[in-house]
Amino acid sequence: MTSNQWLPLAVIASSLLPGLIIFALPEKRVALRTALNLAGALAKAGLVGLLIAGVAAGEEYGLRHAIAPGIEIVFKADALALLFVTLSAVLWLFTTLYAIGYLEHAPHRSRFFGFFSLCVTATMGIAMAGNLFTFFVFYELLTLATFPLVVHRGTPQAMRGGSIYLAYTLAGGAALLAGIVWLDHLAGPGEFTQGGLLAAIPGLDPLTLQLIFALLIAGVGVKAAIVPLHGWLPQAMVAPAPVSALLHAVAVVKAGAFGIVRIVYEIYGIEFAQSLGLLLPLAVIAAVTILWGSSRALFQNDLKKRLAFSTVSQVSYIVLGVALFGPLGTIGGLVHLVHQGIMKITLFFCAGNYAETLGIHKVSEMDGVGRRMPLTTLAFSIGALGMMGAPLTAGAVSKAWLSDGASAAGMDWAIWVLWGSSLLNAAYFLPILHRAWLKLPPPDWPHEEIHPVGRRETAWLLLLPPLFTAVLTVAVALFADSSFSPLAWVRLIAEREYPNISP
Amino acid sequence: MTPLLDPLAWLILLPLLWATLAFLAADRHGPMLALAGIGGQLLCVIALAGDVASHGSIGHLAGGWAEPLGIRLVADGLSLVMLLLTQGVALTLALYARSYFSQATPPAFWPLTGFLLAGMNALFLSGDLFNLYVTLELVGLAAVGLVAAGGGAAQIAAALRYLLATLVGSGAYLFGVALIYGSYGTVSASLLGSLITSEAPLAVWLAGGLMLTGLLLKTALLPFHFWLPPAHGGAPAPVSALLSALVVKASFYLFLRLWLGPFAALSEALPALAQVPAALGATAILWGSWRAIRADRLKMLVAYSTVAQLGYLFLIFPLLGTGALALQAGILQATAHGLAKAAMFVAAGTLIKVGGSDRVLGVAGAAAHLPVSLFAFALAGVTLMGLPPSGGFLAKWLLIDAALAAGQPWIVVVALSGGLLAGIYVFRVLRLAFRRPTTHDDVPLPQRPAALLEWTAFALAAGSVLIGLGAAPLLALIAGVQP
């Protein structure tokens, strides 16, 4: 086995093996468990660094294993895969630190961290899947590994959230499977191909392809939480904060969005999808989701639910970018995959801090919280401003490229959708910031658990991760034009997906 | 080959031998005899595997006597897979049973298990219809005995119901064999394959109908499933596992053999016939899953899941014209389900034994105190739901592929909905297991069971999942089968 074959496997193993060992560890082995978690996360970050250097230099990484005639597990660490792999690996590192602090005295930590590692493993598999079969295998693994985390607390609400989550995701999985096998039957086994797998096969019936597209998008659309398949996401917010942060802001919803990217660009091919008339309906669904999610967020008093509806809306920015024909839209959508992840995880970390430190779960309880927890609230504010698309934040970069993409694709109405959404974002985030910074704190917090020590407003492990990601939110915007930014990487991908058009 | 070293004959003789010894010896020697015996059988299957893989099919007359005196034994890829599944699952279950029955073994458990295995192995290896009848009776009676060995009034009632079903089933089969013998003067399956044509007399059609219906009764395909849930749900856990994982597969195997072999001409003459088992299978999937979703007792849930999962096996009949695909799907499903169902029944047995309640509600909080058993139950559930990377998933993939190739999209819909329904009853148990115990917080946690009880279940469940990743040799064996 050459290093180009084992590197993708090692990236997967770096979370799978620690996860399996952690399952077997007794609850009391805190130090060993923590060491394993951190070693895994650091090893993964290092391995991903090697991959990035290799892919940037034109190396090809991949591995295949036949399990039946015509059915192969294929891993391929191409530029697009690495976009998602890097995002997940970096945010996993932060979330692991955060979760160690968050769950310090909670029961069943071995189980929690075991499944948490499995989720990350599944995400890596989804990112590096080289064909739809492999994608599906890890997509369903993600469903299964997330369930125990959603119901982790074992309360009746958690049970209900878990059931709703399964109902949506298993049904979505069935639709996806039907689409994949149908496609496999029609076009034969094939891999994700730059420029599109189906585009290169002549003589396929357009109507059948449109039907299959609907099945596939419905399947991955459940995890991407596109309206009307989004109902599970707000319910799944009963999970502990690190789960909401990494899985429901990054891994799970992004797995869906990433699936849409792969299907549109590398199964159908963007030009072929355009000629089949598939992009306009997709753009309309994305636009509806963007506006619907933002409007629902306005009326949520529960902080995490407000953030969840905000996620529903923001993830569809990615879908919209995919559906805008042309490299500019592609860049906007793909870069938002990274940017939204960084911003939303910041917000969820902060929400977790408010809940863990002061017992604050509702927006109406946040009066004056900026005085008690200034650093957390600063991070929250940066994340919120980013979501609105304020200048000097990651959100502004995404929105600029998406708007340019919309006008280049001749869909000027999409620009209005983006502006409308920004206004709605402001309408549900600014009141929070106003409460937090300008109103007077109440005499007592709902349930103060962690008392301040000097300038330390909460536990270090809870405070540092959101500060890091808040800094990242600004940094990816400030250094967007440098050659190491997500934007630069996304432009590389766009160049490869549009061999005939230069951005 | 010298008769003394013939693995085909030893696969039948060895279980008869250790069963007899176990019957004569004291109860406490039963487990060791069984483990050694089944271990030896497993070695025989492995010895056979190389020959079958290189020759496709091997067969000869045991003892060197010519037919009809000699008994003709045949093994090909299909029988090899079933033999391997049977010995592998039986060995693991014997380990489990040894620990499960550590206080008191039900009377005759070990001898009956030996006779059951002898009957099953003979069934997989026999090439003539009358010997097959004898094996069917042996399997049926041993299985009824195992159900009755539980000893309770409900178990005796279930055993009697089962006895009725199995006797009527083999009676119908025997009547059919008599009609066939009357028409052709032979009962050799391979000879009959070329003798029976689409112009066969009515008596042969009647014989086919009787034999196949009798086998459906023994396989508990809806509407003949009435005997299965009480028998499988009521027996002690190791017995339930043996019956649900293996015994019903034996009569399915014979149904498939007859369909592809002697009666192939009949089913080709009237292609619509193949829709009958498929339609019954589809109904079984929906009805069995529904009853599992509604079940009140944990083992009844698992038993109704068997009713549903057996339905998948019969979906393949209208698709058999599409080459090896449908047959591969069916046999892979039988194998994966065998492993998963054995795992699920023994995991349920441990949950019930430790938790003290046989209700579904009794698993509440089990994620905390029985994680390994619960994980085994969940992994087995992954196979039953047909989620990747399990064997059940690969089987479903192949089935859908075959259904599309045969232009039967309704089978796709049934297979996918069956998976979702399985999701409902599997997660019904799993979500309860994660529930925080609300009331008796002061009650001490139940004692941890013996490690063997938990890890045998886990091994079976892991096997049912891993087979999805390593199915290539199995699929190649099936592809080489000449009907």
SS3 letters for A159-214?
HHHHHHHHHHHHHHHHHHHHHHHHHHHHHCCCCCCCCCCHHHCCCCCHHHHHHHHH
Q: Cβ A178–B416 below 8 Å, yes or no?
A: yes
Task: List, for residues B342-354, the tens digit of each pLDDT value.
Answer: 999 999 999 999 8
Residue with the larger pLDDT of the pair B66 and A212: A212
How close A151 gets to chain B, by Cα (Å)?
Answer: 7
Among A483-492, B422-431, B443-452, B471-480, the minimum mean pLDDT is found in: B443-452
Dihedral of CA B198/B199/B205/B208: which sign?
Answer: negative
Axis crossing angle, helix A374-388 with helix A327-358, rounded to the nearest 10: 150
Domain contains B452: yes
Dihedral of CA B373/B374/B378/B379: which sign?
Answer: negative
Q: Kind of pairing, strands B57-62 and A62-68?
A: unpaired
Structure tokens at A452: 């301040």
Residue A181 has its nearest CB partner, among B385, B397, B470, at B397
What's the domain range around B302? Answer: 278-483
Are B172 and B210 contacting, i.e. CB atoms less than 8 angstroms apart? Answer: yes
Number of other CB atoms surrounding residue B197 within 10 Å: 11
Residue A159 has its nearest CB partner, among B371, B388, B431, at B431
Q: Cβ B430–A147 below 8 Å, yes or no?
A: yes
Q: Which amino acid is at A374?
A: P
Q: Cβ B435–A170 below 8 Å, yes or no?
A: no
The whole-number average pLDDT for the span A247-265 is: 91
State the Cα–Cα distance between residues A317 and A331, nearest whole angstrom: 11
Q: So what's the pLDDT on residue A89?
A: 93
How close B476 gets to chain A, by Cα (Å)?
Answer: 9
Q: Cβ B471–A151 below 8 Å, yes or no?
A: no
Residue A137 has its nearest CB partner, among B367, B385, B389, at B389
B:417-456 residues touching chain A, CB 8 A cutoff: 417, 419-420, 423, 427, 430-431, 434-436
Residue B412 has its nearest CB partner, among A155, A159, A178, at A178
State the Cα–Cα distance between residues B217 and A241, nearest whole angstrom: 53
State the Cα–Cα distance between residues B404 and A307, nearest whole angstrom: 43
Q: Cβ A67–B469 below 8 Å, yes or no?
A: yes
Task: List, for residues B103-144, the tens digit of each pLDDT value.
Answer: 888 888 999 999 999 999 999 999 889 999 999 999 999 999
User: Number of structural domains, chain B?
Assistant: 1
Beta bridge partners, B297, equal: B359
Average pLDDT, chain A: 91
Contacts of B430 in chain A (CB under 8 A): 147
Q: Cβ B416–A162 below 8 Å, yes or no?
A: no
Q: Which amino acid is at A349?
A: F
Picking from B96, B118, B117, B107, the residue whose alpha carbon sits closest to that of residue B31 is B96
Distance of CA A177 to the CA centre of its chain: 22
Which are the contacts of B103, defined by CB distance < 8 A and separation ≥ 6? none
Task: List, for residues A328-385, the tens digit of each pLDDT value.
Answer: 999 999 999 999 999 999 999 999 999 989 999 999 999 999 999 999 999 999 999 9
Are B382 and B465 contacting, i.e. CB atoms less than 8 angstroms apart? Answer: yes
Are A388 and A426 contacting, i.e. CB atoms less than 8 angstroms apart? Answer: yes
A vs B: CB pairs below 8 A: 84
B394 contact A CB<8A: yes
B372 contact A CB<8A: no
Structure tokens at B128: 């003539």
Q: Cβ B416–A170 below 8 Å, yes or no?
A: no
Please give the residue of chain B at the shortest CA–CA distance from A171: B420
Axis crossing angle, helix A206-224 with helix A132-150, rounded to the nearest 10: 30
Domain contains B337: yes
Q: So what's the pLDDT on residue B63?
A: 61
Number of other CB atoms surrounding residue B1 within 10 Å: 11
Q: How long a stretch of residues is chain B?
A: 483
Structure tokens at B405: 């190739």
Please give the residue of chain A at the shortest CA–CA distance from B422: A170
pLDDT at A403 over 50: yes
Residue B436 has its nearest CB partner, among A141, A154, A185, at A154
Burial label for B327, CB within 10 Å (0-12, 13-18, 19+), is: buried
Distance of CA A255 to the CA centre of its chain: 6
Question: Contacts for A431-435 with beta carbons within 8 Å, 24 or more apart?
Answer: A431/A363, A432/A303, A432/A306, A432/A363, A432/A366, A432/A380, A432/A384, A433/A380, A433/A381, A433/A384, A435/A363, A435/A366, A435/A367, A435/A368, A435/A369
Please give the residue of chain A at the shortest CA–CA distance from B382: A144
Residue A136 has its nearest CB partner, among B388, B423, B427, at B388
Q: So what's the pLDDT on residue A26?
A: 86
Please give the residue of chain A at the shortest CA–CA distance from B400: A181
Are B477 and B45 contacting, i.e. CB atoms less than 8 angstroms apart? Answer: no
Please state, in angstroms and as integers, the Cα–Cα distance from residue A491 to each residue in A83, A401, B291, following that order: 11, 11, 55
Residue B401 has its nearest CB partner, among A66, A155, A185, at A185
Burial label for A428, CB within 10 Å (0-12, 13-18, 19+), is: buried
Dihedral of CA B224/B225/B228/B229: which sign?
Answer: negative
Residue B475 has its nearest CB partner, among A68, A107, A141, at A68
pLDDT at A503 over 60: no
Q: Is B313 left (phi over 0), alpha (psi -120 to 50) or beta?
A: alpha
pLDDT at B368 over 90: no
Are A159 and B434 contacting, i.e. CB atoms less than 8 angstroms apart? Answer: yes
* Cα angle: A379, vertex A385, A390; to 5 degrees: 135
Number of other CB atoms surrounding residue A423 within 10 Å: 11
The whole-number average pLDDT for the span A55-75 is: 89
Number of other CB atoms surrounding residue A364 within 10 Å: 11
Three-state secondary-structure class, residue A482: coil
Where do runs of H (alpha helix) occur along B358-450?
366-369, 371-385, 391-405, 409-434
Q: Cβ B475–A69 below 8 Å, yes or no?
A: yes
How close A163 gets to chain B, by Cα (Å)?
Answer: 8
Structure tokens at A364: 């109406």
Q: So what's the pLDDT on residue A497?
A: 77
Q: Cβ A68–B471 below 8 Å, yes or no?
A: yes
* Complex confidence, ipTM: 0.91
State the Cα–Cα distance between residues B83 and B89, nearest whole angstrom: 10
Task: List, for residues B394-438, the tens digit of each pLDDT value.
Answer: 999 999 999 999 999 999 999 999 999 999 999 999 989 888 765
Q: So what's the pLDDT on residue A39?
A: 94
Q: What is the dihedral of CA A432, A433, A439, A443, to 10 degrees?
A: 70
Structure tokens at B98: 């040894």
Which are the contacts of B29, defined by CB distance < 8 A and separation ≥ 6? B21, B22
Task: List, for residues A115-171, the tens digit of each pLDDT value.
Answer: 999 999 999 999 999 999 999 999 999 999 999 999 888 888 888 999 999 999 999
> Mutate which of B420, B431, B455, B467 to test chain A, going by most A C-beta atoms within 10 A?
B431
Domain boundaries, chain A: 282-503
Domain contains B17: no
Helix (H) or strand (E) run with residue B57 in it: strand B57-62
Q: Cβ B404–A185 below 8 Å, yes or no?
A: yes
Domain contains B388: yes
B473 contact A CB<8A: no
Burial label for A391, CB within 10 Å (0-12, 13-18, 19+), is: exposed
Three-state secondary-structure class, residue A314: helix
pTM: 0.93
Task: List, for residues B166-191, the tens digit of each pLDDT value.
Answer: 999 999 999 999 999 999 988 888 88
The whole-number average pLDDT for the span B269-286 is: 95
Which are the contacts of B334, defined by CB distance < 8 A and separation ≥ 6? B82, B85, B249, B252, B253, B313
Picking from A95, A460, A464, the residue whose alpha carbon sits closest to that of residue A245 is A95
Which are the contacts of B202, defined by CB distance < 8 A and separation ≥ 6? none
Contacts of B435 in chain A (CB under 8 A): 154, 159
State the Cα–Cα distance between residues A261 and A319, nearest whole angstrom: 8
State the Cα–Cα distance between residues B132 and B120, nearest whole angstrom: 10
State the Cα–Cα distance between residues A73 and B358, nearest whole angstrom: 41
Where do runs of H (alpha helix) occur along B105-263?
109-125, 129-148, 153-184, 189-195, 202-219, 228-234, 237-242, 248-260
Domain contains B459: yes
Are A463 and A316 contacting, i.e. CB atoms less than 8 angstroms apart? Answer: no
For residue B483, whether the previous peptide bond is cis, meaning omega lies within 30 degrees of 0, is no
